Amino acid sequence: MSQYLLQMNGIVKSFGGVHALNGIDIKVRPGECVGLCGENGAGKSTLMKVLSAVYPWGTWQGEILWDGQPLKAHSISETEAAGIVIIHQELTLVPDLSVAENIFMGHELTLPGGRMNYPAMIHRAEALMRELKVPDMNVSLPVSQYGGGYQQLVEIAKALNKQARLLILDEPSSALTRSEIDVLLHIVRDLKAKGVACVYISHKLDEVAAVCDTISVIRDGKHVATTAMADMDIPRIITQMVG
Ligand SMILES: Nc1ncnc2c1ncn2[C@@H]1O[C@H](COP(=O)(O)OP(=O)(O)OP(=O)(O)O)[C@@H](O)[C@H]1O
Ligand SMILES: [Mg+2]
């Protein structure tokens, strides 16, 4: 069996005539955190949307191997079932639903007979928010009652509630405070220790350097280099990003 959990080989994705991805290769081992770095428009989010089947198999070229086997997913529910969970750059919450309902969207806990098990969902949502160090959040309130940073934490809780083998974090910290970012980095380290792999995308290279084992840089839809963080520093990442 492959030592890699994930291999993406020669991924090409076009929008009309525009080549957003032009033959990208990346690999991730179990428990490894790969920092995916590149300037605005380099293709980071597009690559992760290919992986999570936001862009289904057949709408891009190349090959994805998951646990050494070809992955040809048609929907996000298929990739989630495989253990690929993405926290998107854009918030995907439903403003009028409660924090707990948002966390369990599409994965609702039910009672025998099929009715919603709200007490169990509220209990679990509270535990997740405690883990994220926001114990004061009322998970029964509409998520729109909370500001951008809290909503980003709800997105993270929603992802943590799924059984990820690979967690993709696409700019997870843009609306977070310093102490919230520290909690997030701590959680990522915990997940790594449990063998969960991560792809971490952030323009904040200090975060990337703090948590990632490996840095893959892409530029203009092409792979530039993949280097162990131990052999890297922030100025070298920037040099690779800008070319
Ligand atoms: N749905 C789309 N339709 C057309 N072009 C798109 C679409 N999504 C992305 N692109 C283009 O593909 C390229 C890569 O975009 P992408 O969003 O993947 O970049 P990124 O590396 O995530 O950038 P950022 O750091 O700003 O988030 C850009 O040129 C972008 O304009
Ligand atoms: Mg992006």
Q: What is the mean pLDDT of residues 181-207?
A: 93
pLDDT for res 133: 87
Tell me the per-residue pLDDT of 76-100, one tens digit each, with 9 for 90 and over: 999 999 999 999 888 889 999 999 9
Cβ count within 10 A of residue 235: 9
Q: CA-to-CA distance for 25 and 121, rounded, in angstroms? A: 39
Among candidate residues 84, 43, 66, 45, the one with its CA nearest the CA of residue 224: 43
pLDDT for res 113: 93
pLDDT for res 149: 87
CA-proximal residue: ligand 1, atom 7 (nearest): 15
Most confident of 183-187, 191-195, 230-234: 230-234
Map out the domains of the chain as residue ranges.
1-83+164-243, 93-162
Name the token pair of 116. 């919603």
pLDDT for res 89: 81
Q: Ligand 1 within 6 A of 44 CB?
A: yes
Q: Ligand 1 within 6 A of 46 CB?
A: yes
Report whether 20 contacts 42 (CB < 8 A). Answer: no
Distances (CA, A) of 171 to 91, 200, 213: 11, 8, 17
Q: What is the CA radius of gyration of the chain?
A: 18
Tell me the per-residue pLDDT of 128-172, one tens digit each, with 9 for 90 and over: 999 888 888 999 999 999 988 899 999 999 999 998 999 999 999
CA-proximal residue: ligand 1, atom 17 (nearest): 45
- Given a cut of 70, whether residue 211 has pLDDT beyond it is yes
Give the confidence band of 2 by pLDDT, cuts at 50, 70, 90. Answer: low
Ligand 2 centre to CA of 171 (Å) is 7
Q: CA-to-CA distance for 183 and 186, rounded, in angstroms? A: 5
Tell me the per-residue pLDDT of 3-26, one tens digit each, with 9 for 90 and over: 999 999 999 999 998 999 999 999
Q: CA-to-CA distance for 87 and 15, rounded, in angstroms? A: 22
Q: Ligand 1 within 6 A of 9 CB?
A: no
Tell me the per-residue pLDDT of 39-75, one tens digit each, with 9 for 90 and over: 999 999 999 999 999 999 999 999 999 999 999 999 9
Report whether 52 contacts 76 (CB < 8 A). Answer: yes
Name the fold adopted by 1-83+164-243: Rossmann fold (3.40.50)
pTM across the whole model? 0.93
Q: What is the mean pLDDT of the chain?
A: 94
pLDDT for res 90: 84
- Given a cut of 70, whether residue 1 has pLDDT beyond it is no
Q: Ligand 1 within 6 A of 40 CB?
A: yes
Q: CA-to-CA distance for 2 and 57, rounded, in angstroms? A: 22
Q: What is the mean pLDDT of residues 175-193?
A: 91
Q: CA-to-CA distance for 47 and 217, rounded, in angstroms? A: 12
